[in-house]
Structure 1
Amino acid sequence: MNGTQFKVQNVDLQQVRNQIRHRTEGLSSRTLVLRRGQPFTILINYDGRPFDPQREKLVFVLGPLDVEVPLSVCGQPSPNQWSAIQEKSLPIPYALCPLTVSLSSPVSAYVGVYKLQLRVETGRSAKTFSLGHFTLLCNPWCQDDPVFLPSEELRNEYVICDYGVLYKGTPSEMVLRPWSFNQYDKGMLDICMQLLQISPQSQADMRKDLLNRSSPVYISRVISAMVNCQDDKGVLQGNWSDNYSSGVHPSMWSGSGDILRMWSESQFRPVKYGQCWVFAAVMCTVMRALGIPTRVVTNFNSGHDTNDNMVIEEYYSEMGQKLSIGQDSIWNFHVWVESWMKRPDLGQGYDGWQVVDPTPQEKSGGIYRCGPAAVKAISEKKVDMPFDVPFVYAEVNADVHKIILRNGKRLSCTVEKDRVGALICTKHPGSKKMQDITAEYKPKKDFRCKISNGEGDWRTVVSNGEGDWRTVVPEGIAVSLQLLKAPIVGENISFNVIITNKGDVPKMLRKHVNAQNKEYNCNPSEPFWKAENDLEIGPYETMTVKHEISFEEYMAKEVMEDHLVNLAVVIEDVESEERVLASEEFHIKSPALKIHVQNKRSVIINEQQLAMVTFTNTFDVAVSGELTVEGSGLLQEKVQISLTIQPGETIWRSVNIIPRMTGDKMLHGSLVLTNLPIVLRGFKTVNVQAA
């Protein structure tokens, strides 16, 4: 052998082998990517003689906190602290065998980027070698990690899967939005780490921040604040103004990758613009990349209680027009995430799914963020528990007071106890189906509630369980609304007003019906359609009055993808002046794109496959727009095609896909029309198999 000293020549971090063992293959970073709580192996190549523990001491130094880990020649790794153990390797004749070291991290190690150094100490001197960097993530496969998820199926869905389906619209007219989480895109993990590195907590006290990053509770609060830009250099700027000229309309986003790249490449200027489902989907990307199991959840009829009284007040005119009075609101849907983690700070029974909401609604601890709020604590109304349980409880359980006003005076008040949190759902693991998780947030309740005439008299109203409410008035009038079919853009909206006289005498009635355009998170605008007339109804008679709103009438109001129609009817008893209200909110669906994948059952990694996008123009006019097709793990880049389609024409456009990863992947397309305010969407999931 040459020389008499142990001299480090270079180090092999065994990136491919270690990342396969740590289930981080595919995550793109400038560093080795590992999960805490399990060992990884490095090879130290050297000149001169082999390592001799009697003559030198090897110490691994982990920056930036400078944790020192001396090399042991035997022993077992400790679950509570870093360890470095020499592995015995078989000798190779006439060759120097690399020094093989097994490094192990504790499950309490902080999530972040580590600098790895090796200090070689002899009796006379010490020399330090830089070995590179590695990124350490949470480990949902490790039983002792606070994010451990015991089901392999759920780990595949909530950590590994890079696509999802978001739910919007209303409970009865749900809209499915495909979304690419893009956590495997080039450099995406490094960008996710930047959210932690430039957070106010890290900038104020890096050491304290790093130590706190051992906890997923802490991490989720930091990420919740950093996804919005209200208090920091966060990712997204929210906009609900209906003016998006200086940025991107929130409905145009189809994945997290473009948003996170824009934020990073602009030196952390906020990306314009986001709304609740965009904030939640981006947070899901970051949390899955960090190793924290996360899913996107939609709460339909989500209460926004601004005065902490657990009540949402809604106001209507005596003609049935919904009024913009008061600060409370009911969002037709609101989207947040749930992340899976232990909650040692709450005591036993509150581990599991936690609500974390990055949409900037209210402050938590002086910062725009929300959660983690234990779902179990919400269902039990443990409003004294951290974090933000009262706010989330009101989002899913607040009472609703529907008040009819005349000249500022209350004519009647309807109390609905089951309208808020009508349906809470997420994507079902392993499929595109919807999973109803409403029962996890609240116990089942009687679907009855009471109404007041404002003078101390109460009556009962009953729900049919499908979002329609009828008012039951003994000896009075009952009224309900009935959509004749699901509204589709380009077609007329047809509905019935059904009126029943519960008494034994005829009545003269006055009917007021109106339709208002509204965004999902606020009160509606002025009515764009009205109808009213007088009618007579006999004793115990039920009558049905049909109405139609033409495409031209509602299209003139530019009913965009995330807008809804608020339909309301007030029936007035002319003699008694008693008024009964029924209302319905619904989404107008857009026609869908269809996507076909040739030989769908035999999609092989790294083999070219043909996909076809088709659309038939059902409108009375020609439409123009840009078709975009994308798929994380299927296409290297988006495919964009300009189109003009004549009425009745069917277009077919082919796209070549070359899968880069095995497993379930999603191909989705969107056609943004330029002459109509409509976005058409479609998606197809495929299973990519190994060669």
Structure 2
Amino acid sequence: MDCDSLISEDFTMGVQIIQVNLRKKANSIAHHTSDFQNEKLVLRRGQVFHLLVVLNRPLGPQDQLMLQFITGKKNAISRHTMVELNARTSNLSQDWKATISKVSGSEVTVAVTSSPDALVGKYRLSVKCGNHTFKCEKIFLLFNPWCKEDKVFMPNEEERTEYVLNDTGYIYMGVTKQIRGKPWIFGQFEKHILNCCLSLLKPHIIKTTDMNDPVEVSRSMCTMMSSANKGVLVGNWSGDYSKGTAPYVWTSSVPILQQYYTTKMPVNFGQCWVFSGILTTALRALGIPTRSVTNFESAHDTEKNLTVDIFLDENGKTIGTMTRDSVWNFHVWNDVWMMRSDENGDNHGWQALDGTPQEISQERFRCGPAPLTAIRKGDVAVKYDTKFIFTEVNGDKLIWLVKQTPEDKKFILIAVETMSIGKNISTKAVGQDQRVDITYQYKYPEGSPEERQAMNKASNLLNKVVEHKPPTREDFYHISVTEDSVQLGDPIILTIVLKRNMVSLKNVNISCSLDLQTYTGKRVASLGVIQKTVQIQNPETEVVLTMNASSYINSLGMLDDELVIKGFAIAEVVGSNNEMVATEVSLSFLYPDFFIEMPNTARVDQPLIFTCSFKNSLPIPLTEIKFSVESLGISSMKTMDQGVLPPGKSIQFQMNCVPVKLGPSKFIIKFTSRQVKEVHAEKMVLITN
């Protein structure tokens, strides 16, 4: 419709802009940004939004209506940091467009569509009519996974809801056979979070002109998660967290990012799941679909030769001075969804990104984004850091026995494990509070021709020769351990299963060395060696080994970390020529139950009272006991110290918090002590008026 034909006024009076209404409520709903606790308008690129311009008189035939959007410090149309639009002509400018969609007297509605490749960040908006310029408040422009032309477009609505809008979830931890979900509050819409995330993308980290590219933005945000790059979080694996918060205590990204934003100082302390949690928050806030991913039995190959070499003495004890490679019980990183315009079309989709400061990549601690398709195929030359992530999920494990002879040390290869690295790669399921296994997205089935082909391809690209022939055995062909956990306070019981190729009576020496370790394999205490000689005859034999709880119970508080029992078991035929097998032992602790009683509903701004109870079933006192509650429905975490709980005693008490937000809210109640970690309960509560 020709707007000019609707106007019959005296246009001799100079036109002035009285008000520009950004229609925050309507635009926020349309752009899926209404949950942001932000006074400014938050928009997604490539999608129309409307603003209402109120003039002192109707718009005349000769009156121009211009809009100017500016971001960054060096403003120029050629740099795409300045966009100027004429709403009267509706011409495209840098793929942006503004049109007058409605005129009602002196009120003019303008429809603006930003480019799907626009720079992401804060924009200053000015509206000019005649000789009068009206400066509006700043607006935020984010990536848009709802826009088909955006490089982060995700076609499935349920996945967009999960990977962009869901502000709570789970991060998976434990060991391969005992996986547990740690509830995590991402809170990407909370106060200061969006401002914090954009403030991290400083010019010395990323050029303003690269702020349109999700590859560059995600890599830069990954960089700024670590204080090693003058970023958010201080990594600490020492076990001493007296100068900050122990990593296992965190259950939310929100207080970490809010503290960093207000203090401009790195936050103490984090480990891999915390780095992953805050990176998920930061990238979801910017509109990039992101998930936290856990790789169990994650290799850290320090020699870059696609193998993890572990050296044992004759008791099965790891020789630390020789074992330079390590295997973490688990390692948590992120996947981000995007189109890779810097790579060929096969590498679009999920990309691995790791904010934990482990390796230097282009002079900074960071890793990725690396395409999962390239990792799966062994294309380790593809950007960025695909080689490192490939070895984390695909390396072969070699177990060597070191025998001391009168002349020298003798190295005997007793196991080649091609299926023990990169297990049960996990993330939260879409739309469900359940774990989903995504190992198939990272690698072909273990032992398949495609998987071996990927290993060979990676080896060729790295000029490494993969030729590790398993030792030839006449008798044994397999050893395994049945147990994967131990109830805290109970004896350690291991059932060793030996499988043979023949039926004959043999004497077998079994040696099992056990340590108390952190999840990264750091030895905290040596628990001892169990040795047993047995006679076996059948094709399959079970041998039970035991160790008293006293071996570990007093070492639980040595470090302020959650600990596991790890070690190796070796079985050798007596009098044979190195007829032996070995396997790793990995046991996680099962903790005492923790109970809460919390109502299903509560009222906003009214105390929510709930009851906590816990019994110490251990033979030792629990010290430094704390209970905490955290939720997006309350203003901050509430913590209560309870001191010491003697053996066999119970504790029951009430806590309260005040909900400040309407709607359903997940509450995470956590129990910690120096000896017992990671005991939590969850409850969904509906907050009403």
The bucket for the TM-score relative to the shorter chain is 0.7 to 0.9
The letter of the residue matching 2:631 is G
1:50 corresponds to 2:50: no
Residue 163 (structure 2) aligns with:
158
Pick from 294, 300, 304: which aligns with 1:304?
Answer: 300
Residue 591 (structure 2) aligns with:
590
Pick from 67, 72, 76: which aligns with 2:87?
Answer: 72
Residue 13 (structure 2) aligns with:
4
Describe the superposition over 1:395-439 as per-residue Cα deviations: whole angstroms up to 9, x where unpaired: 111111111112342023411111111210101122221101011
Distance in 1 (CA, whole Å) between partners of 2:605 and 2:11 is 46
CA contact (8 A) 1:626 1:642 kept: yes
Describe the superposition over 1:525-550 as per-residue Cα deviations: whole angstroms up to 9, x where unpaired: 55222222444x15447554433333
The 1:338/1:680 distance shift into structure 2, 3 A limit, reads closer
Describe the superposition over 1:10-34 as per-residue Cα deviations: whole angstroms up to 9, x where unpaired: 3222222221221111212342111
The 1:538/1:215 distance shift into structure 2, 3 A limit, reads closer
How does the TM-score come out when normalised to structure 1? Answer: 0.86
Note the C-alpha offset of 1:71: 2.7
Distance in 2 (CA, whole Å) between partners of 1:626 and 1:153 is 37
The letter of the residue matching 2:186 is F
Distance in 2 (CA, whole Å) between partners of 1:145 and 1:607 is 44
Residue 316 (structure 2) aligns with:
320
1:230 corresponds to 2:239: no
Residue 546 (structure 2) aligns with:
548
The 1:244/1:39 distance shift into structure 2, 3 A limit, reads same
1:428 corresponds to 2:446: no
Note the C-alpha offset of 1:611: 5.2
Q: Residues 488-637 of structure 1: matches in 2 within 5 Å?
A: 488-499=487-498, 502-503=501-502, 505-525=504-524, 527-535=526-534, 537-540=535-538, 543-558=541-556, 562-576=562-576, 578=578, 579-599=580-600, 612-620=611-619, 623=622, 625-632=625-632, 634-637=633-636
Pick from 174, 177, 181: which aligns with 2:179?
Answer: 174
Distance in 1 (CA, whole Å) between partners of 2:104 and 2:606 is 39
Distance in 1 (CA, whole Å) between partners of 2:541 and 2:97 is 80
Residue 94 (structure 1) aligns with:
none
CA contact (8 A) 1:608 1:659 kept: no
Note the C-alpha offset of 1:6: 0.8
Distance in 1 (CA, whole Å) between partners of 2:627 and 2:688 is 30
The letter of the residue matching 1:351 is H
The letter of the residue matching 1:274 is G
1:34 corresponds to 2:43: yes
Distance in 1 (CA, whole Å) between partners of 2:62 and 2:133 is 19
1:660 corresponds to 2:661: yes
SS of corresponding position for 1:556:
helix
1:341 corresponds to 2:338: yes
Residue 200 (structure 2) aligns with:
195
Distance in 2 (CA, whole Å) between partners of 1:68 and 1:543 is 76
| Number of equivalent positions | 647
Distance in 2 (CA, whole Å) between partners of 1:56 and 1:432 is 54
Residue 4 (structure 2) aligns with:
none
**Identity fraction in percent:** 27
1:372 corresponds to 2:378: no
CA contact (8 A) 2:83 2:94 kept: no
Residue 475 (structure 1) aligns with:
475
CA contact (8 A) 1:239 1:275 kept: yes
The 1:309/1:258 distance shift into structure 2, 3 A limit, reads same
Describe the superposition over 1:329-364 as per-residue Cα deviations: whole angstroms up to 9, x where unpaired: 111101001011111222223221111111111122
1:412 corresponds to 2:413: yes
Note the C-alpha offset of 1:69: 2.0
Pick from 355, 359, 373: which aligns with 1:358?
Answer: 355
The letter of the residue matching 2:436 is Q
SS of corresponding position for 1:200:
coil
1:141 corresponds to 2:146: yes
Distance in 2 (CA, whole Å) between partners of 1:609 and 1:150 is 40
The 1:156/1:457 distance shift into structure 2, 3 A limit, reads closer
Residue 292 (structure 1) aligns with:
288
Distance in 2 (CA, whole Å) between partners of 1:457 and 1:179 is 43
Note the C-alpha offset of 1:321: 0.3
Distance in 2 (CA, whole Å) between partners of 1:567 and 1:88 is 73
Note the C-alpha offset of 1:375: 0.8
Q: Residues 630-645 of structure 1: matches in 2 within 5 Å?
A: 630-632=630-632, 634-643=633-642
Residue 684 (structure 1) aligns with:
682
SS of corresponding position for 1:361:
coil
Greater alpha carbon shift after TM alignment, 568-577 vs 513-522: 568-577
CA contact (8 A) 2:493 2:544 kept: yes
Q: Residues 5-20 of structure 1: matches in 2 within 5 Å?
A: 5-20=14-29
Residue 671 (structure 1) aligns with:
671
CA contact (8 A) 1:322 1:524 kept: no
CA contact (8 A) 1:74 1:85 kept: yes
Note the C-alpha offset of 1:643: 3.1
Note the C-alpha offset of 1:218: 0.8
Note the C-alpha offset of 1:653: 3.2
Distance in 2 (CA, whole Å) between partners of 1:671 and 1:386 is 42
Residue 257 (structure 2) aligns with:
260
The 1:193/1:457 distance shift into structure 2, 3 A limit, reads closer
CA contact (8 A) 1:494 1:549 kept: yes
Distance in 1 (CA, whole Å) between partners of 2:500 and 2:64 is 97
Distance in 2 (CA, whole Å) between partners of 1:78 and 1:684 is 51
How does the TM-score come out when normalised to structure 2? Answer: 0.86
Greater alpha carbon shift after TM alignment, 103-112 vs 473-482: 473-482
Note the C-alpha offset of 1:154: 1.1
The 1:105/1:611 distance shift into structure 2, 3 A limit, reads farther
1:103 corresponds to 2:99: no
The letter of the residue matching 2:442 is Y
CA contact (8 A) 1:225 1:234 kept: yes
The 1:592/1:419 distance shift into structure 2, 3 A limit, reads same
Distance in 2 (CA, whole Å) between partners of 1:661 and 1:308 is 52
Pick from 123, 130, 133: which aligns with 2:135?
Answer: 130
Note the C-alpha offset of 1:164: 1.2
CA contact (8 A) 2:68 2:85 kept: yes
Residue 84 (structure 1) aligns with:
98
Note the C-alpha offset of 1:574: 3.1
Distance in 2 (CA, whole Å) between partners of 1:43 and 1:251 is 49
The letter of the residue matching 1:236 is L
Distance in 2 (CA, whole Å) between partners of 1:631 and 1:154 is 23
Distance in 2 (CA, whole Å) between partners of 1:57 and 1:431 is 49
Note the C-alpha offset of 1:280: 0.6
Unaligned runs of 5+ in 2: 1-9, 77-81, 453-467
CA contact (8 A) 1:30 1:187 kept: no
Describe the superposition over 1:504-562 as per-residue Cα deviations: whole angstroms up to 9, x where unpaired: 55433333222111222235355222222444x15447554433333332122227653
Note the C-alpha offset of 1:210: 1.8
The 1:56/1:35 distance shift into structure 2, 3 A limit, reads closer
The letter of the residue matching 1:115 is R
CA contact (8 A) 1:147 1:216 kept: yes
The 1:79/1:394 distance shift into structure 2, 3 A limit, reads farther
CA contact (8 A) 1:119 1:128 kept: yes
Note the C-alpha offset of 1:84: 2.2
Note the C-alpha offset of 1:680: 4.5
Distance in 2 (CA, whole Å) between partners of 1:341 and 1:311 is 31
CA contact (8 A) 1:59 1:119 kept: yes
Note the C-alpha offset of 1:150: 1.5
Residue 185 (structure 1) aligns with:
190
Distance in 2 (CA, whole Å) between partners of 1:2 and 1:655 is 64
The letter of the residue matching 1:437 is I
The letter of the residue matching 1:50 is P
Describe the superposition over 1:123-151 as per-residue Cα deviations: whole angstroms up to 9, x where unpaired: xxx45432120111111111111111112
